[in-house]
Structures are given as C-alpha cells and as structure tokens.
Amino acid sequence: MFIALPARLITLLLLQALLLVLTGCTRAPALQTIEGFAQGTTYHITWWSAEAVDNAILQQAVTERFAEIDSALSGYRPDSTIEQFNSRLDTDPHPVGKEIVALVEMARAIHRASRGCYDLTIKPAFDLWGFRKDEFTPPNADALQQTMARVGMDKLITLDQERLRKTLPDLQLDLASIGQGYSVGQIAAVLEQSGVRDYLVEIGGELQTRGHKPGNKPWRVAVEKPIVGERKVEKIITVDQTTPLAVMTSGTYRHYFDQDGVRYSHILDARNGSPVQHNTLSVTVLNADPTAADAWTTALLCLGVEAGKPVADQHGIAALFITADGDALQEHPSAPWQQMQGVQVE
C-alpha cells in the first residue's frame, strides 16, 4: 500500500539523509599502528591518512627498509657494510656507499662543534671499558692510552661521496650514536612515499612527528624523568605543526655501571676515552632532521650543560639539559629551545 507523504516531510527526510551521508564522509579516519622489533629494540609507528593506504603493504615496506639499513649500518652483523669496513686492516680506499659517507660527514661536523668530545671512532675505548658486552672492566692508564692511539676522526679520510679510507689499519667506526636517528628519518620517508603525511615514528624512544592526529589534534610526546629505576614523566611536548619534527633524548642514566661508589656512564669523552663525570643526566633535542638530532644529543650530553649549552646556542640547536643538584633536577634550555614555534613544553 502506497502512502503519500507531505512535500515538506519528504524534503526534511532528504535533508536528514544527506546530513548522514556528509557526516559519514567527513568522519576522521582512525589511527593505524605498525610495531615490531628491529635494531635491538622496539619500534612503534602511528599514522593516519585521508587517502587509501594499505597498512599491510606499508608494514612490509617498513620491514624491508629496516633490513636495508641493518645490512649497511649494523655493528652486530659481521656482513654489514660498516663491519666489513672495520674488518679490513689496511689503509686502502673502500666503497661504503653514499649513506654511510653522508653520516660520517655529518658526524665529523658535530665532532668539530663539540671540540672532539663526540667521535664515531670511540668504539675501541667503548669495548675496552666493557660496555659492549656489559662486562665492566675499568682499564689501567697504559691500556687506555694505547687504545686511544687508535681513536680520532682525523684518522678517517673521506675520498668522495662513496669511499672512505683509514690512516690507521685498525681504526673502527660505530654508527650507533647517529644511526638510530637516521633510521627514524628513513622509516618516516617510507610513510611519506606511501602518501602518509600525518604520523609518529618511534624507534627505541627516538621519534619524529609530522602533521596531526585525526581531528586536528596535536601529537603529544613525553620526556622521561632521568632517574634510575623510575618511569616518570619530566616534560610533555605538544607538537602543533605540519612540518616534521624529531624529538631525541640521550641520558647517562640509561646504561651505566656502579663501582666503589662511582657511577660510570656509557657516554665516553673521546678526548680522554673515559666516561663523562659531570652532573648532566640527559639532553633532549628538537630538530627537523632526526639524524642530526640523534648525534647532537650524544655530543651535547658528552659536553654537559656548562660546555654544551653555549655550543647549542652557537649552532642553533634547540636543546634541554637536565642536571642533578643533589636529589633535585634542574632544567637548562638553550636559547633556540626557548624560541621554538609550534611546540609547547609543559
């Protein structure tokens, strides 16, 4: 049986139906996640896109890129490009690829800016102290002096965009202090190549954001309080900008040994080969380039706040130093940190 409806009611029903369609079309897409284990740590990727992007295909691309980076930069794979370079005990030119040469040159610039405190060739001293195998063995002065004769960025020559040469056959490179930041940037690039413009990529606590969460909500990042045995928040960083921003933190409280009432951090000063002894516990850096941010956190932590803050100011690095004053924590922002736009720290 057909029942005729009034024209005004038909119009109202049509408008309601149209409103439901429009509401469904404008509903914010849900957040997608990709997570796993890589580079000896965990990684978490949170993203969304108004365009159709297959999460499974994206995850496969992420896995493949991790494998490529690992084959080039891993210090734990004897077949990686960097370990093959380390194993060649000669002073001949060796091809290592553009990405390793680029990392070396960025590290060399930060090495100079840190007055030699930061150095990719510190690996033999790191091993000597037992940090690599978690077997702490403070060396005697003679052993340390002999080892430090094998350390120095000046002993590594960049020949061109793809080749390096050692001036000492047993020179060793460790890219860990810059490689994780590089990995963050490379995984972010995988997302962007797939059309994703809103994401948070985190690897082992180092991360990069771009854009916003659905509903135009900003990304919020927690900075850990640098206290051993506690997982408390020191700062919340709200990132309200569309361009990429890396948030990187290094701390002396994360990997250390205690002996005879003295704490020995895994952060070594490459000028003397010994763990740093200042009271700076952590440094957080905000930077558009995650690779540079990663290296700068280590360099500035090596220097400590007294020497490091003027360096950060000079080179335009937004850095937050946290120091120990007895049982209290003190914060020391660099001038560029205080001038950051699109970022709120609370």
**pLDDT band, very low/low/confident/very high, at 5 (cuts 50, 70, 90):** very low
* Fold (topology level) of 88-166: T-fold (1.10.3980)
Check residue 113 and give its pLDDT: 98
Q: Which of 220, 295, 298, 221 shows the shortest CA–CA distance to 254?
A: 298
Cα 236 from Cα 43, distance rounded (Å): 20
Per residue in 258-312, pLDDT tens?
A: 887 788 889 999 999 999 999 999 999 999 999 999 999 999 999 999 999 999 9
Is residue 80 scored above 90 in pLDDT?
yes
Cα 287 from Cα 293, distance rounded (Å): 6
Check residue 159 and give its pLDDT: 98
* Cβ(146)–Cβ(134) below 8 Å: no
- Report the percentage of the chain scoring pLDDT > 70: 92
Domain ranges for the chain: 88-166
Is residue 328 scored above 70 in pLDDT?
yes
Task: Return the C-alpha torsion angle 83, 85, 90, 93, nearest 10.
Answer: 180
Is residue 231 scored above 90 in pLDDT?
no
- Give DSSP secondary structure letters for 70-93: HHHH-SS-TTSHHHHHHH--S-S-
Check residue 10 and give its pLDDT: 33
The helix/strand/coil state of 285 is: strand
Is residue 338 scored above 50 in pLDDT?
yes
Average pLDDT over residues 228-246: 88
Cα 303 from Cα 119, distance rounded (Å): 12
Is residue 14 scored above 70 in pLDDT?
no
Per residue in 116-150, pLDDT tens?
A: 999 999 999 999 999 887 888 899 999 999 999 99
Check residue 260 and give its pLDDT: 76
Q: What is the mean pLDDT of the chain?
A: 90
Pair of tokens at residue 88: 């060649």
Check residue 7 and give its pLDDT: 38
Instruction: List strand residue ranges (DSSP E) for the chain, in order.
Output: 32-38, 41-48, 94-95, 156-158, 163-166, 198-203, 206-210, 219-224, 233-239, 245-251, 256-259, 262-265, 268-269, 274-275, 280-287, 318-325, 328-333, 343-345
AA identity, residue 286: L
Is residue 322 scored above 60 in pLDDT?
yes
Per residue in 17-50, pLDDT tens?
A: 433 344 444 555 889 999 999 999 999 999 999 9
Q: Which of 33, 63, 37 shows the shortest CA–CA distance to 187?
A: 63
AA identity, residue 196: V
Per residue in 151-197, pLDDT tens?
A: 999 999 999 999 999 999 999 999 999 999 999 999 999 999 999 99
Pair of tokens at residue 264: 């020995």
Check residue 305 and give its pLDDT: 98
Check residue 79 and give its pLDDT: 96
